[in-house]
Amino acid sequence: MKAVFKYIVVIILLLGVNSATAQDNKIEIVGMLVDNQSNQTIPYATVALYKNNSKEIITGTTSNDEGKFTINTSASNFYIQISFIGFKTKRITNFTVKNNKIDLGTIVLSEDNETLEEVVITGEVSKTVFKLDKRVFNIGKDISSTGVSALEVLNNVPSVNVNIEGEISLRGSSGVQILINGKPSVLADESSNALGTLTADMIESIEIITNPSAKYEASGTAGILNIILKKEEKKGWNGSISANTGTPDNHSVGISLNRRTEKFNLFTQIGVGYRSLPRDNEAVNRNLIDNEVIYSNGTAYRDETFYNITLGTDYHINDFNVLTLSGNFAYEVEDQPSKTNFSFYDSNNALISNWLREEVTDATNPKYQYELNYKKQFKNNKDHSLQLSALGRFFGKDQASQFKNTTIAGSNVNGNQQTDTEFQQSDYTFKADYTNPLSKTYSIEAGAQYLINDVGNDYEVRDFTDGVYVVNQDLTNNFEYNQKVLGVYFTVAYELDKWGVKAGIRLENTDLNTLLTNTNEANSQNFTNYFPSFHTSYKINDNVSFQAGYSKRIFRPRLWDLNPFFNISNNFNVRQGNPNLQPEFTDSYELTSIYKIGKASFSSSLYHKYTTEVVERVSTFADNVTTTTPENIGTNASVGFETNGKYNVNKWLVLTGDFNFNFFDRVGAFQEQSFNFSGNQWSSRLGSKIGLPADIDLELTGNYQSGFKTFQGDVTGYAFLDLGVRKKILKGKAVVNLGIRDMFESRISETFVSQPTFQTYSFSQRGRFVTLGLSYGFGKGEAMTYSGGRRR
């Protein structure tokens, strides 16, 4: 604690230093700080000038996000002292002044093991750091980031929302691209449901890129979320073991191990668990021509046993070359029972039939990925680098379903059916990225990416007719999907201490082919597009800065948007893909300000997006059956305002908030019906972290998502509250945590569709989730929690 006190005193003294020093004969002192073990830069370290033979401070500063610092002084008799919690304080007395400048170059700080053992780290709250073309959300040890999957961590990131369906939106817009360490990954692929295999303890930060530069793949009209995984740098054996239990069923055991040597970093994670995700559903189909109504309500379960293992190694060939080979294998066994009660009423509101539809679905899902990555850093500058990577991944599903209808009252309903699904997806990504800081102010980036997606979905439906199951040829087919995307890019940046600009261009060619093999229906698309980007920033002072940016984006239809097969779990409310769907294109403009007021820090943004060929979910109605299909319909122009901030009230209370308002103007038509309309939607989030006695932390997070108008109806708003409690034991080596998601069971999905000939209503709710976890870290590892859930 003495070390902590010393650093606090230094900071207080720095804040109190009189800035009105003499302007004549100023000396500029520059340098950069790095960790002696990891060679990583050290941000936010204290750099101070002291009078020789005295402890009187002259002036000081802190290193920036890149570990660099600059001090101006007119003093001539001083020494330089550099300090940071966890590192040995370094005093510099020998230096040379040349042309009124002292260039200290790269300064290496050594870890202070003794200080590390006695210091209590209190900066555990997640925080956002701003870069030229992105925001970086560093994951702290907040309760909401303990014992949860990556999907739930994303829901705590400013500007991001994850709805009850697991769909991710950024500033209210879907079409978000998820990357892992800057690259596509099976862990981030929506169709593989694998994002949940990442746990909060594995994540270092999340980059929020609302206006991506040309360096990034152009897909994702809402922007990019790049999940950066931790790199274990502690030598020796490190690891942790954890166990969770909860209701509804949420039980898992996991172990993480790491072995670090001078040349190798070996890592593995093994987990096994079982969980159940119940979901209550209601639906109403109202035929306005015949005045007939069908009501349905029931509960569906997704019970899952999962196994997961990750193995990998980093081989440090030398100080400038690193080779990484890693692989992951997961196997899931699913059981999806459901019961839905249906009631059919005629125009006089008389009951015609009432029946129970039961589903029994079994599935096995093998999935694996492997990655080879090579990174070379050049001797002249650590930021001068070349990175080559190759990623392969596979996801399979072998599923069988049995649907049984039992008549309860009224006329007999015979709708027994069976389905079989054999799904296989193989993806390959090859990337090359080159970065060269030509000078202290100029830098360039160049690279290429080749992406291959190859999918087959063999789907068969059988109807129970005259005592036997007969193949329904209208719903049975084999769907083949093949997409190849080749992209090349170049960017150039000019960045000073206060001002910077970055411009780039990306060229992408897309070759997409789909085929229904049984009917020989083929669809081919081949198109080439340019995607320019421009970003600039200006720092007025340490408390106020501005950013502005433009980029052009594309949203390519996903596999399940194109796959034309029905989901018949509820055969009166079915979803179907559209193989003729075209991509969306978006021009995105943004102006952001970042400012600090006392203990509070804020970020506010104005943004505008113009999207063509907008993909909308459109409902059609026939024979009392609602079919929802994606269609390209018109344009969408939106203007939005977003602000988020953090306020450190005192040492035991931190408040965070996020507010986003979006006004949109839609122009479009479907089936000769005009759908021109305007509307708005907004969301807000307020969180608090409270430090209680006995080393207990409490976190409360409240969320609200407003309702909004859709192409054919409305979506209802909702609010929900999450709570978390954490207790450290055994000097922090072990952690007990309790999490309650959706405490008041108020998080819902409710949609109304109102058209001249029909009206539909749908409602779903997952309910409250309670999880209790215990984790223990050994070696130099930290206590963490394994949660191997899948993305929904």
SS (H, E, C) 689-720: EEEECCCEEEEEEEEEECCEECCCEEECCEEE
* Cβ within 8 Å of residue 467, ≥6 positions away: none
The reply to whether 719 falls in a domain is yes
The CATH number of residue 66's host domain is: 2.60.40.10
**Residue 376 in domain:** yes
* Residues 717 and 663 grouped into a single domain: yes
Please check whether residue 788 lies inside any domain of the structure. Answer: no
- Residue 277's closest CA among 149, 131, 178, 398? 149
Q: How far is CA 588 from the centre of its chain?
A: 20
Same structural domain, 516 and 536: yes
Query: In this structure, what CATH number is given to the domain that contains residue 761?
Result: 2.40.170.20
Euclidean distance between CA atoms 784 and 792, whole angstroms: 23
Verify that 755 and 641 share a domain, yes or no: yes
My answer on whether 329 and 442 are in the same domain is: yes
Q: By residue range, what is the domain housing residue 244?
A: 236-779
Domain-embedded: residue 263: yes
192: helix, strand or coil: helix
Pair 151, 72 in one domain:
no
Tell me if residue 607 falls in helix, strand or coil.
strand
Are 318 and 336 contacting, i.e. CB atoms less than 8 angstroms apart? no
Show the low-confidence residues of the chain (pLDDT under 50). Answer: 1-24, 113-123, 143-147, 164-165, 190-194, 196-197, 233-234, 781-792
How many other C-beta atoms lie within 10 A of the C-beta of residue 408? 12
Q: Can you give the length of the chain in residues?
A: 792
Q: Which residues contact 149 (CB under 8 A, 6 or more apart)?
A: 195, 196, 197, 198, 199, 200, 787, 788, 789, 791
Domain containing 170 — which CATH number?
2.170.130.10
The last residue of one of the domains, among 229, 246, 271, is: 229
Instruction: Count the neighbouring beta carbons within 10 Å of the beta carbon of residue 771.
Output: 23
Using the structure block, give the residue that is written with the tokens 């942790």.
240
Place of tokens 């009631």: 343
Q: Does 717 fall in a domain?
A: yes
Last residue of some domain: 73, 89, 118? 118
Asked if residue 367 lies in contact with residue 359, where contact means CB atoms within 8 angstroms, the answer is no
Under DSSP, the state recorded for 498 is S
Work out whether strand 625-632 and strand 573-575 pair parallel, antiparallel, or are unpaired.
parallel
Are residues 46 and 7 in contact, defined by beta-carbon separation less than 8 angstroms?
yes
163-170 contacts: CB < 8 A, separation 24 or more? 163/705, 163/749, 164/747, 164/748, 164/749, 164/764, 164/765, 164/766, 165/749, 165/792, 166/791, 166/792, 168/225, 169/222, 170/208, 170/210, 170/222, 170/223, 170/225
- The confidence score (pLDDT) of residue 11 equals 42
Yes or no: say if 738 and 771 are a contact pair by the CB < 8 Å rule.
Answer: yes
Q: Both tokens of residue 617? A: 């979910």
Q: Which of 203, 229, 255 is the last residue of a domain?
A: 229
Same domain, 193 and 330: no
| Residue 578 is assigned to a structural domain of this protein | yes
789 within domain boundaries: no
Q: Is residue 213 part of a domain?
A: yes
Q: Are 603 and 580 in contact (CB under 8 A)?
A: no
pTM of the model: 0.72
Cα 486 to Cα 512: distance, rounded to the nearest angstrom? 12
Dihedral, CA of residue 739, residue 659, residue 638 and residue 500, to nearest 10? -100
Q: How many CA atoms lie within 13 A of 460 on its CB side?
A: 10
Q: Note whether 682 and 595 are same-domain residues.
A: yes
Task: For 151, list phi and psi in degrees, rounded to 5.
Answer: -65, -40
Residue 395 has a CB neighbour count (10 Å cut-off) of: 22
Q: What is the CA radius of gyration of the chain?
A: 29
* 670 shares its domain with 523: yes
Q: Helix, strand, or coil here: 414?
A: coil
Same domain, 681 and 770: yes
Residue 5 C-alpha from the chain's centroid: 37
pLDDT at 327: 87
Phi, psi dihedral angles at 436 (to 5 degrees): -140, 110
Are both 148 and 36 inside the same structural domain?
no
Q: Collapse the DSSP code of 6 into the 3-class scheme (helix H, G, I; strand E, B; otherwise coil) and give the result.
A: helix
- Cis ω on the peptide bond leading into residue 248 (within 30° of 0)? yes
Rounded alpha-carbon distances, angstroms, from residue 106 to 31, 109, 495, 539: 6, 10, 20, 24
135 and 266 both lie in a single domain: no
Whether 348 and 389 have beta carbons less than 8 Å apart is answered as no
CB atoms within 10 A of CB 289: 10
Strand 769-779 vs strand 758-765: parallel, antiparallel, or unpaired? unpaired
β-bridge mates for residue 419, sequence order: 401, 461
Residues 223 and 255 in one domain: no
E strands within 466-572?
Answer: 468-471, 477-495, 499-516, 521-539, 544-555
Total of domains in the chain: 3
